Amino acid sequence: MRKVSLDSINKVFGKISESNKLYLPVDGSDGVAVYTEWSEGKEWSNALNTVRSPKDFFFPQVENLMEFKTSGKNIELVDIRDEKEDFVIFGVRACDVRSFDILDRVFLSDPVDSFYASRREHGIIVSVACSKPSETCFCTTFGIDATNPAGDVTAWKTEDSVYFKANTEKGEAFMKKIEDLTEECDDSAVTAQKEKIAKIMEKLPLANLSADAFGGGKTDTFFNAPEWDELSATCLGCGTCTFVCPTCQCYDIKDFNTGNGVIRYRCWDSCMYSEFTKMAHGNNRISQKERFRQRFMHKLVYYPENNEGIFGCVGCGRCLAKCPISMNIVKVMKKIGGNKSE
Amino acid sequence: MQVKEYKPLIVAFCCNWCSYAGADLAGNNRLSYPADVKIIRVPCSCRVNPMFILRAFQRGADGVIICGCHPGDCHYTSGNYYTRRRMAALFSMLDFLGIEKERTRVEWVSAAEGAKFAATMNEFAETVASLGENKRLEDLRCKR
Amino acid sequence: MQKITQNQLVEKAVSLLTDGTVSAVLGWKKGEFDYDITPAVFKTADEIKENFVWNDFCGANFSKYLVAQAGKHEGKILVFLKPCDTYSFNQLLTEHRFDREKVYAVGIPCEGMADIAKVKELVGDGIVSIEADGDSLKVSTLYEDAPALVNAKDVMAERCVNCKSKKHVAYDELMGEDGIVLESNRFDEVARLEAMTPDERFAFWQNELSRCIRCNACRDACPACTCEKCVFDNPASSVENKAPANSFEEKMFHIIRAFHVAGRCTDCGECSRVCPQNIPLHLLNRKFIKDINEFYGEYQAGAEVGLRAPLVDYTTEDLEPGEVFDRGDKDA
């Protein structure tokens, strides 16, 4: 394990930026943390997490797939992909790191999504353990340890230092770059922090939330539950939940007419929208209740069924904080799952 | 490499009954105005939807002008009164967002005012030229 | 901080439900924490007694739900309306969006709603409970042993700080006393922006709007946005887009949305409350309202049913569009 004093962390960022683009949570003008490219003067945010999840780096909200340029009768096909260099994402929380695994299972399974794969290959993830969980956190429900996140490098931030441990080859290469800025150390401070935070996690209001009622094979159990009517009654269908969610992965492919050609791009879509992936016929889920039900069944039943029991939710709590009407997966789990979820 | 000298692209929405006829008259009298003024004929100036104006800027226009009948003389009686209110609100909003106010204009041109049409277009093109290319409402995807 | 209590509202709702005046109740439902209130449709008295909540976090405006809910139930639906909500109610009625006969509206007084973001700024994270305590909020967190006492006025939502009216302009029944239309400072921030140079304004809005993720929460929460098929969802309109592909798209959506509701926006503040990225959208709408007030006379959408919105009206003496730029000297 190696460490650097918190005062010198900017030197680390500076060193890394010399060879790679470095992104980390920085407080924006509205006081909310957002992943920003580091440059001299930018301070690593103290916020628990960002509103926009880091899935944006591998699965951007808008990704240009290709461009057709027309001139007269000629059509030229242009490859406009842009991610060709290694980059570092620093400060990713355990929940968001798990979300990358969930997205990998979708995008990297056959046929492999080459856009996602290329970004994933170029990305180096430095995760940071949480030190001040929020009441909206429930990552433990899905077996995620906030005190020991996965990633190419795992980091822990204490009051005066940042500790690093490389987990993969990419991680080792990262650590090599900052070798002369860091020093060898034992893991006693990290162990102490892990214990302290684990105790706090136990006291979180949602600590006892269990996902046992859900999982693969439960489609028939829950599909026709009468509670869906009540839960979806006031859903606005706005899609905020899908856009802040680190695991939502649906997208639409659209053509934009530039006036002298077409750009084909992929953009996030939301199953909450009535125009979801509309092609010819229209949305097969014509009521908001059906769309609402679809989203939660996907995360709690369909995804685990297709993915060896792994749930499609990581307990990051963003939907709890951002839904305009405060509906979220926790309320759904408790209502539909009955006592088993308490 | 030859760099083309910047000439502003102006989109002019002209109402069929007055200002379009005014444009025709300017042509008949051989009064010249820049060829970069692209006229789009609409039945009445109130047909112009704010989205058209934004779309024009998106597709490369540097200035947008809406021409209609003089208030009180609208072929449809009151269309241009609505235009007046709508464009006042829209222009104020664009200004609020920091878009240069000289890029948009409403001008009342009657069918008999060929000279006014040409003069207006010349003056507007000059004003927009001095502002430079539209950067604040441009859509890079639509660049030629 | 609220003058009317949860018990009073629960009693009212239960009595109207049980005596058959209404067959469903639109109200606020208890959440996991004390501040995550969900609008809900209550059908039984037991549900109401167990889950109905009224506290400083009940900002949701129910008027828009009436479009979908009124007429969906056998009898009338009860809706609780704060003063700002009543303006949206009237505006929706003016536009014939729901059947007045199917709704029983109860006006309730409101002292202002709190903004949880402001609470967290003062108190920190890990909030376990929030209780009203006179004019304060008692907030307990995981990280402090003793609960913090926060002055409710310090954490009031911006739209409540600049409340424009405590008067209810629509109700079948009124609980508590009616208030009056207030002199508010709601145009101050707009005026401050107007006084900047165009370059400064452009930079400000670039910064704010670049955070937009096109979640459409603002549109979906707005009581003035009730089109069955929004132009941004309609492939035939050619502005349909699901993503803020670039800075032009971001501006296009917000300019057009603000324009579509101009003159019909009642300034209820829901758009800014629901925005997950904290974009001050209400400033765009307030700009239109301020302009309309200055150009065409004071107008408050929803003050009465049947008012004609200023942008679908005219006089022969209206100002010329070019004149809007001549007000005050503020350009570089």
Q: Give the model confidence (pLDDT) of B26-75 as tens digits.
A: 999 999 999 999 999 999 999 999 999 999 999 999 999 999 999 999 99
**Domain residue limits at C54:** 6-113+163-174
Check C231 against B51: CB less than 8 A apart: yes
Do C65 and C26 share a structural domain? Answer: yes
Residue C134: band (very low, low, confident or very high) from pLDDT cuts 50, 70, 90: confident
**C205/A contact by beta carbon, under 8 A:** no
**C258/B contact by beta carbon, under 8 A:** yes
Do C168 and C32 share a structural domain? Answer: yes
Domain boundaries defined on chain A: 2-203, 219-341
Of B60, B141, B144, the CB nearest to A256: B141
Dihedral angle sign, alpha carbons of residues C296, C297, C298, C299: negative
pLDDT, tens only, B114-128: 999 999 999 999 999
Do C291 and C206 share a structural domain? Answer: yes
**B140 or A314, higher pLDDT:** A314
Residue C330 pLDDT greater than 50, yes or no: no
Do C93 and C127 share a structural domain? Answer: no
Do C302 and C192 share a structural domain? Answer: yes
Q: Residues of chain A with pLDDT > 70: what percent?
A: 98
Residue B1 pLDDT greater than 70, yes or no: no
Chain B, residues 23-82, CB within 8 A of chain A, namely 59-60
Work out the burial of residue C264: count CB atoms within 10 Å of its CB; fewer than 13 is exposed, 13-18 middle, 19 or more buried. Answer: buried
Which stretches of chain B are assigned E, i.e. beta strand? 10-15, 37-42, 63-68, 104-108
Q: What is the DSSP letter of C23?
A: E
Report which residue type is found at A301: V
The subunits that touch chain B, with at least 3 C-beta pairs less than 8 Å apart, are A, C
Residue B2: band (very low, low, confident or very high) from pLDDT cuts 50, 70, 90: low
Do C126 and C96 share a structural domain? Answer: no
Best of B96, B103, B109 to disrupt the C interface (most C CBs within 10 Å) is B96
Do C78 and C21 share a structural domain? Answer: yes
pLDDT, tens only, C277-321: 999 999 999 999 999 999 999 999 999 999 999 999 999 999 999
Of A331, A237, A249, A252, residue with least CA distance to A286: A237
Check A243 against C65: CB less than 8 A apart: no
The architecture in CATH of the region B10-142 reads 3-Layer(aba) Sandwich (3.40)
Average pLDDT, chain B: 93
Check A234 against C211: CB less than 8 A apart: no
Best of B138, B141, B144 to disrupt the A interface (most A CBs within 10 Å) is B141
Over range A34-43, report the average pLDDT.
Answer: 92
Residue C325: band (very low, low, confident or very high) from pLDDT cuts 50, 70, 90: confident
Q: Compute the distance between CA of residue B94 and CA of residue B86 in angstroms, rounded to an integer.
A: 12
Residue C80 pLDDT greater than 70, yes or no: yes
Do C35 and C14 share a structural domain? Answer: yes
Over range A301-329, report the average pLDDT.
Answer: 93
For the record, the structure tokens of A94 come out as 């355990």
Domain boundaries defined on chain B: 10-142
Residue C23: band (very low, low, confident or very high) from pLDDT cuts 50, 70, 90: very high
Phi first, then psi, for residue C192 (nearest 5°) are -65, -40
Q: Is C77 within the bounds of a domain?
A: yes
Over range A305-330, report the average pLDDT.
Answer: 93
Average pLDDT, chain C: 91
Counted domains in chain C: 3
Interface pTM, i.e. ipTM: 0.91
Do C133 and C79 share a structural domain? Answer: no
Residue C24: band (very low, low, confident or very high) from pLDDT cuts 50, 70, 90: very high
In this prediction, residue C258 carries a pLDDT of 95
**Residues of chain A found within 8 Å of residue C38, distances taken between Cβ atoms:** 234, 325-327, 331
Residue C329 pLDDT greater than 60, yes or no: no
Number of inter-chain CB pairs under 8 A, A vs C: 127
Residue C251 pLDDT greater than 50, yes or no: yes
Do C309 and C194 share a structural domain? Answer: yes
Do C291 and C271 share a structural domain? Answer: yes
Of A132, A240, A274, the CB nearest to C233: A274
Do C170 and C31 share a structural domain? Answer: yes
**Residues of chain C found within 8 Å of residue B59, distances taken between Cβ atoms:** none
Over range A30-42, report the average pLDDT.
Answer: 90
The subunits that touch chain C, with at least 3 C-beta pairs less than 8 Å apart, are A, B
pTM, two decimal places: 0.91
In this prediction, residue C81 carries a pLDDT of 95
* C-alpha dist (Å) from residue C78 to A171, C42, C84: 60, 10, 17
Check B88 against C258: CB less than 8 A apart: no
Chain C, residues 183-212, CB within 8 A of chain B, namely 193-194, 198-205
